[in-house]
Chain A
């Protein structure tokens, strides 16, 4: 009797097998929670705690950073931010980057990837050349762009003059600054996207293209009926990543415009983005509660975008 009991005790498993919805068996063990504890602790400390603090700050009417004390509780910071024309300028600029600059980047990157993929010689060389900007820091590239766009010494104006177009104040003219920022953003986003598109293209079975030729599909039809649908998971993944990335545009603004305008994003804040607005409110204007309110609004928009993306991907992306 005694023996049987000990044997049983030894056999008592430390885990359970659980059947998942797809029929596979998974191990369930209480130890799992212990394993993720360190990661959870870090997440709580550096993500969740600041988030709660930002939320708290955003609802103060007045807040003093040094002492971490606030007075009055309510929506007034949000109302102030929503009435601030600079905030709306930041929204408009961010939207321009998202709705105009990003699609242009995607099309150029896709075109470049298709070209590189179709050449046989020097493919490795081009791949490396296109990838270089990605491993170079945005700030450094921004410095180079600063000189390219310089209104007196820049190559761009020099080139325009050559074509008979008068030199433009790319970095100081409030109407042009968003164009400059868009060009920089497009250029800066290309490398990474080309690389991902190339990887996606190389995954497509070459024989499918031979089959399409046998079936008499024109190059255009092959592109739209074969390549793009088969690339759609990659395209979608690139969109997902870059929408969030572009929405958070900050480095580009900082590198190109801030040196001309003290703390502001260029003349009259004309190149401001939402991320820069938050930064500017905090460090330059010292309005921590306004910065926090803007950050919360931004978070809500990002969550909405994510929800929309989930719905869209179910409809249009071919996962095969």
Chain B
């Protein structure tokens, strides 16, 4: 089911947590709701779930306006950041709990015990916890608890699956595994999914589309490629990518971007005037006539991150791991123009 929010706003007293956002979450797709801490991701998610009321605006599921509906009427599955499993129930009871509150659409009556067990076991297989259904949540690892939470959210065949930073309690390795799992489960169940995260890498790696927010305002909505390669403002450019993009203040004219100290970087554009130029670390390559002195070299295995000064700005670049460079060395670099972006010096909007 497609989910749309129109001019959705949430105010807590004087703070505006979510400010007039318009988003369409496409049917059957996995959409990432991304942004730094406190930007209003959870609030948006809870408004869609119905646990928070909207101050203004509408929430539309398919063609129905559900803005004022109670959460239990919306047929959603929600996975909380700390899972919120029922600690006194076994996994089987946890997963069956939503079913015990609904009617079987086929018969119009309560689910039979047998049907309920079948559904629980089917979903347990999907998330691969079928052999621990008689345990209690306290006897599980974090990753297993998360699967239970997903199973409980999916068992009632929700129209929308909402996940609030479900991986934030896991260690780095498990997080990588579980995000692929979530992707697999989502693709197998084909449920419209909204995935809240503050980790840009996580968002880029598994989502079909990313909504990037800041201070309750949507900055850009795009698929991961587009968002990385074509940022609409400097915040988006800074947020996506690790190591992050570096900036220099420049004057652009005649095929060059000129730094404060007179240094010239080749850059071809129709724009002319002052700009804030963002340079992705991978825009640099060894062998060229831009001479820099490396201040730091960080070997990462497949590549290396080097730092140097350009004018008064510190720049970070990713170089091929085979180039043997050391800190303090002077080398010549060249610049790949299409990995450089110009932003308005004050507003930060892409030029």
Q: Is B101 touching A215 in the complex (CB atoms < 8 A)?
A: yes
Does A104 count as interface, using CB distance less than 8 angstroms? no
Partner-contacting stretch, out of B54-62, B73-81, B174-182, B204-212: B73-81
Which 9 residue pairs are nearest across A and B when measured between Cβ atoms? A207-B84, A216-B101, A216-B72, A318-B88, A320-B87, A215-B98, A211-B84, A229-B88, A214-B78
B88 to A211, Cβ gap below 8 A?
Answer: no
Interface residues of A in 211-238 (CB under 8 A from B): 211-218, 221, 225-226, 229-230, 232
Beta-carbon contact of A215 and B152 below 8 Å: yes
Within 8 A of A (CB), among B35-87: 49, 51, 70-72, 76-78, 80, 82, 84-87
Known: A214-B98, A221-B101. 12 other contacts (CB 8 A): A208-B85, A211-B78, A213-B70, A214-B71, A214-B77, A216-B101, A216-B102, A217-B97, A226-B86, A318-B87, A320-B88, A320-B136
Question: Does more than half of chain A's interface fall in helix, strand or loop, or is it mixed?
Answer: helix
User: Does A205 lie within 8 Å of B84, measured CB to CB?
Assistant: yes
Instruction: Say yes or no: A214-B97 contact (C-beta < 8 A), given A318-B88, A320-B87.
Output: no
Distance in angstroms from A214 CB to nearest chain B CB is: 5
Q: How far is the CB of A62 from chain B (nearest CB, A)?
A: 58
Chain B residues, CB < 8 A from A226: 86
CB neighbours of B243 from chain A (8 A): none
A14 to B86, CA, bound (A): 47
Sample (22) of A-B pairs whose CB atoms are under 8 Å apart? A205-B82, A207-B84, A208-B85, A208-B86, A210-B51, A210-B78, A211-B85, A211-B86, A213-B71, A214-B49, A214-B78, A215-B101, A215-B152, A216-B156, A217-B72, A217-B97, A221-B101, A226-B86, A230-B88, A232-B88, A318-B88, A320-B88
Q: Is B311 an interface residue (CB 8 A)?
A: no
- Nearest Cβ in chain A — how far from B71, in angstroms? 5
User: In the complex, how many angstroms separate the beta carbon of A226 from the nearest chain B beta carbon?
Assistant: 6
Residues on B with beta carbons closer than 8 Å to the beta carbon of A213:
51, 70-72
For residue A86, give the distance in angstroms from its CB to the closest CB of chain B: 46
Q: Which of B77, B84, B156 has the most CB of A within 10 A?
A: B84
Determine if B328 is an interface residue (Cβ-Cβ < 8 Å): no
A214 touches B88 (CB 8 A): no
Output the nearest chain B residue to A317 by Cβ-Cβ distance.
B88
B288 adjacent to chain A (CB < 8 Å): no
B window 124-153: CB within 8 A of A: 136, 138, 152-153
Whether the Cβ atoms of A207 and B80 lie closer than 8 Å is yes
Contact assessment for B101 and A210 in the assembled complex, using a CB-CB cutoff below 8 Å: no
Most chain B CB neighbours (cut-off 10 Å) among A207, A229, A230: A207
Q: With A207-B82, A229-B88, A320-B138 given, is the CB distance from A215 to B97 under 8 Å?
A: yes
* Contact of A214 with B72 in the complex, beta carbons under 8 Å: yes
A320 to B139, CA, bound (A): 10
- Distance, CA A226 to CA B98, complexed state (A): 13
- How distant is the Cα of A217 from the Cα of B102 in the complex, in angstroms? 9
Task: Give the residue among A205, A216, A226 with the most B Cβ atoms within 10 A.
Answer: A216
Chain A residue with the shortest CB-CB distance to B97: A215
Cα distance A261–B101 when bound, in Å? 59
A-side contacts of B156, CB under 8 Å: 215-216
Q: Whose C-beta in chain A lies nearest to the C-beta of B75?
A: A216
Whole-angstrom distance between the Cβ of B157 and the nearest chain A Cβ: 13
* Residues of A close to B136: CB separation below 8 A: 320
Closest to B82 in A: A207
Residues of B within 8 A of A214 (CB): 49, 51, 71-72, 76-78, 98, 153
Residues of A within 8 A of B98 (CB): 214-216
Q: Mark A290-320, 1 if CB is under 8 A from B, else 0.
A: 0000000000000000000000000000101
Interface positions, chain A 146-194, Cβ under 8 Å from B, are none
Q: Mark A251-289, 1 if CB is under 8 A from B, else 0.
A: 000000000000000000000000000000000000000
Which partner residue on chain B sits nearest A320 by CB separation? Answer: B87
Closest residue on chain B to residue A215 by CB atoms:
B98
CB distance from B260 to the nearest CB of A (A): 52
Chain A: which residue is nearest B137 at the CB level? A320
List of B residues within 8 angstroms of A230 by Cβ: 87-88
Q: Report A224 CB to chain B, min CB distance, Å.
A: 12
In the complex, what residues of B have CB within 8 A of residue A216's CB? 72, 98, 101-102, 156
Q: Tell me which of B80, B138, B153 contacts A210 (CB under 8 A).
A: B80
- Note all chain A residues with C-beta closer than 8 A to B78: 210-211, 214
Neighbouring A residues of B152 by C-beta, 8 Å = 211, 215
Which residue of B has the minimal Cβ distance to A210?
Answer: B51
Q: Which B-chain residue is minimally distant from A208 (CB atoms)?
A: B84
In the complex, A218 Cα to B85 Cα: how many Å?
17
Q: How far is the CB of B116 from chain A (nearest CB, A)?
A: 13
Q: How far is the CA of A68 from the CA of B70 in the complex (A)?
A: 76
